[in-house]
Chains A and B, each alone.
Chain A
Amino acid sequence: MYTIKGKTTDWELVIGLEVHCEILSNAKVFSGASAVFGGEQNTHVSFIDAGFPGMLPKVNEKCIEQCVKTGLGLNARINKYSRFDRKNYFYADLPQGYQISQLYHPIVGEGFIEVTTSEGTRKIGVERLHLEQDAGKSIHDMSPTKTFIDLNRAGVGLMEIVSKPDMHSPEEAGEYLRQLRAIVRALGTCDGNMDEGSMRCDVNVSVRPVGETGFRTRTETKNVNSVRFVMHAIEVEANRQVEIYENGGTIKQETRLYDSDNGETRPMRGKENANDYRYFPDPDLLPVVLTDEYIENIRKNLPELPEAKKARYISELGLTPYDASVLTADREIAAYFETAAKGQDAKKVANWVMGDLFAYLNKECLPIAKSPVSAENLGALVGLIGNNTISGKIAKDVFQFMIETGKDPATIVEEKGLKQNTDTGAIEKIVDEVMAANPEQVAEIKAGKDKLKGWLVGQIMKASHGKANPALANQILNKKLGG
């Protein structure tokens, strides 16, 4: 169990996450304007988004479908009746003066996410998922005296997914977030890119002495934009709270900001006056009423979820749970892997994907979609090793050529003459030559210095320009040494 050791007692953590996921949809949730990320400032804005007089919201059915999909992916109850409420507050990037959200009747109710950590697998409760609209962006750093407003994001659909206060360690919260991201990516309901802000996390943390039941005052740390930062923010915030308690202080319920540069949380300024949001049902929108048939139809067409995929990789493909987790965390990686593994040794393919391929992609900061080595070609490369056309060592060189040229491995092997030598006679000739050139070492091996044998095999491989089949070379050498 994760605890913080204090001077007086050990402390445990209580963590809840509120995650905002931008819904993947061509259009915003209440206007027809484009919801595509990026674009010139204020180009994806309709009169509805800009809060013009007499403009009315109209719910985008695609967003409803995406929420239901996500709800099903979270093993959650889908509410057949949901409704929109207005959350009233003034801000320059909130043109209507209210955010349309769902306070009283969210579209998705309780569910859970299964999370595996070093302490085992646990179900983390999901309290609710509700649909709401995003605000625009205030830009304060373009002028010393002015604030500029970009409404491109204003009105983009968001799913706010609220967990129960079920998590007790930074690791668990991190895994919850990774799993959630894997689920929405697998479903195609959110791209999960935290660095672009399409997935944002508010972290609720409180601490209590081990053994104490009930909750102490929590703080909410806003807009933490990576899994690593979330874990770190929890750690520093929990430690801050423990220190205050240990020194006889009390925790103030407040909203804080995580400062990744200084690795600390601090109170958000300018939010001292408690906001009264005066939520009430939005009279411009009708309640959303879903039929069983509608929900079942979506359920039937759900893609395979990461949890199920992971189980399949372990049971059918023989991968380790760790490898299976890594490969299923991202829908595109999983798809790449499955294409590459078709008809090949899946474990070996997994090693190549997670080893050489990831190393290269990470170094170049490329997403898997931009990999110069196609999934088919990587599979073919593993195939060439498997059928002894090339050695594992040569394969590394072939992989390098594949990155550089994008060509398929068979062509590269052919063009560069890298085909493995399995001609016993030819290898025997090389072995003889190498043994003749190194009589001292041969003598020492014969005298029992076995370690030198590896060196001698290396010399043989070198003399064959790496093309000799290493197993065959070993076999012949053994025979000659023994004879």
Chain B
Amino acid sequence: MTNLTDLTIGEATQKLANKEISSVELTKVHLVEMENARVLNAFITETPERALADAEKSDARRAKGETLGALDGIPIANKDLYCTKGIRTTAASKILSKFIPPYESTVSQKLIDAGTVMLGKVNTDQFAMGGSTMTSYFGTTKNPWNLDLVPGGSSGGSAAAVAAGLCMAATGSDTGGSIRQPASFCGITGIKPTYGRCSRYGIVAFASSLDQAGPMARSVADCALMLGVMAGYDEKDSTVANVPVPDFTKVLTGDIRGKKIGIPKEYRLDGLNQDVQATWDKGIQLLKDAGAEIVEVSLPHTKYALPVYYIVACAEASSNLSRYDGVRYTTRVEGKNLDELYENSRTDGFGDEVVRRILLGTFVLSAGFYDAYYTRAQRVRRLIYNDFMEVFKVVDALLVPAAPTPALSEAEMKTMKPIDIYAGDVFTTPASLAGVPSLSLPVGLSQNGLPIGLQVIGKHFDENTVFQVADVLEKAANFNQKPHHVKG
């Protein structure tokens, strides 16, 4: 029998339907795996009792023939940015380390309603600020492919847990690449949907105009399945589009003949990592072989995406994080007066990277600097958006790398300057700023045996094409290597 922790959701659902396994069994093997793999530090909070209770309910439903759909009984994990009612939600920070939300985020509620089994809350960079989980107050998550390496971030806990078989899928969130880059580092699949596709209600905000929830799983089809549950209109979030959510799995036909795939020349950076370049070339060839038409295109403002992203995201973050002030639900460090209480609580409660971004954001919004930074960044953001609009008049999707390198080591990253770490977001931030959907899937390995992902970027609300192209690429690449982390 196949190892139950290696299944895709599709395979597991089949076995559940055939009564080959129960949800409780499926859940238990994952809980065991979770315990065995604690060295990974993927979870901040484990919820095994709740998981088993959820699984029992799922089995009871199934026994009565009342399943809630394709995700019923499937063990998943939530990024610790999603508020979960009655379960601690920390955003991997000290300041929220004791916060137990009295409400459930819309997206995690939809997953509950679909019958999923929640195993726990997974690690992330603090307030999703980082690309390694190294900024987490709860320590760095290890990459299951090599424990010296980081899993990427911010959704690094999600990526590591899915890759290592601790859960079948996990929620992530992506502001400037936080789903796609860790998916690439850990050899799994994740999609940042169109901005406005999923509700942000109940997800701890980093940068509101960029934050999007999305699924991370072991196949394109699993992501399509899960996004179908997570997406949809929510009257509690004004920025969610009131558009129908298609059945994303229906478009996985395997046929992309005649589709035009754009290769933006601006992404061909000088001195790009050779493994990444080789994987990209391989991806292009595989799509060509599948009958797609490859078109060289230009997104002329790409080089501005990184600075624009860090101005916009930090500006919004500086305001979004003002509420963590030591007055209400956060940790508090007393002071002689209100200002001191703020200073003490926030100094104690926020990590260095969070402080850095609050300061950056406060600076770019300050009188005298506002126009030079924030206003200009908003204008350039519009130009970047227009680049995508133009190019999508010609092509159906774009194919680009997810990250400029495979996973880096924690030791190396500790020596890097923040600005060099930020440069790792070079391929993911443009799609974030434009709000277009982008999926990252593993296409090859580096010479050192590390996974390398490519992004398929599509038009606004055209996740269908993204999934369709990614599905073909996934099958053609036949990426079936597994991490060989800690087992045994």
Contacts and interface: CB of A to CB of B under 8 A. Distances in A.
A92 B325 CA distance: 9
B322 A98 contact: yes
Given A47-B102, A50-B328, A276-B366, A286 B239 contact: yes
A341 B225 CA distance: 71
A92 B322 contact: no
Contact of B319 (A54, A149, A280): A280
A283 B203 contact: no
Contacts of B374: 280
Which of A54, A91, A96, A98 has the most B CB atoms < 10 Å from its CB? A54
Contact of B362 (A47, A58, A278): A278
A88 B358 CA distance: 13
A90 B201 CA distance: 23
Interface stretch (B27-35, B58-66, B216-224, B230-238): B230-238
A53 B89 contact: yes
Interface in A113-152: 147, 149
A56 B103 CA distance: 13
Interface in B220-252: 235-239
B236 A58 contact: yes
A92 B238 contact: no
A92 B319 contact: no
B203 A54 contact: yes
B52 to A, nearest CB: 27
B323 A283 contact: no
Contacts of B101: 52-54
A51 B83 CA distance: 14
Contacts of B207: 283
Contacts of B105: 54
B367 A95 contact: no
A97 B200 contact: no
A95 B320 CA distance: 11
Nearest to A98: B319
> In terms of DSSP, what is the predominant structure of the interface of chain A?
loop
B342 interface: yes
Nearest to A90: B342
Contact of B238 (A51, A55, A147, A286): A286
B201 A54 contact: yes
A168 interface: no
Contacts of B239: 283-284, 286
Contacts of B321: 97
A59 interface: yes
Interface string A66-103: 00000000000000000000101011100111100000
B365 A149 contact: no
B91 interface: yes
A476 interface: no
B96 interface: yes
Interface residues of A, number: 30
A285 interface: yes
A149 B327 contact: yes
A285 B238 contact: yes
Nearest to A274: B367
Interface string A262-306: 000000000000001011100111100000000000000000000
Which of B89, B102, B237, B327 has the most A CB atoms < 10 Å from its CB? B327
Contacts of A97: 319, 321-323, 325
Contacts of B203: 54
Contact of B316 (A90, A279, A283): A283
Contacts of A91: 338
A278 B338 CA distance: 21
Contact of A47 (B103, B316, B324, B367): B103
Interface string B348-368: 000000000000001001110
Nearest to A275: B367
B426 interface: no
B366 A278 contact: yes
Contact of A147 (B102, B328, B338): B338
Contacts of A51: 323, 328
Contact of A58 (B204, B238, B323, B325): B238
Contact of B338 (A56, A92, A285, A286): A92
B161 to A, nearest CB: 21
Which of B323, B366, B370 has the most A CB atoms < 10 Å from its CB? B323
A129 B364 CA distance: 28
Which of A147, A284, A285, A286 has the most B CB atoms < 10 Å from its CB? A284
A406 to B, nearest CB: 48
A148 to B, nearest CB: 12
A56 B203 CA distance: 10
The 7 closest A-B pairs by CB, nearest first: A97-B322, A283-B209, A278-B365, A283-B208, A51-B323, A54-B202, A53-B204
Interface of A: 47, 50-59, 86, 88, 90-92, 95-98, 147, 149, 276, 278-280, 283-286
Interface of B: 83, 89, 91, 96, 99, 101-103, 105, 200-205, 207-209, 235-239, 315-316, 318-319, 321-325, 327-329, 338-339, 342, 362, 365-367, 370, 374
15 contacts: A52-B101, A53-B329, A54-B105, A58-B235, A88-B319, A90-B339, A95-B328, A97-B321, A276-B367, A278-B370, A279-B365, A283-B207, A283-B208, A283-B316, A284-B237
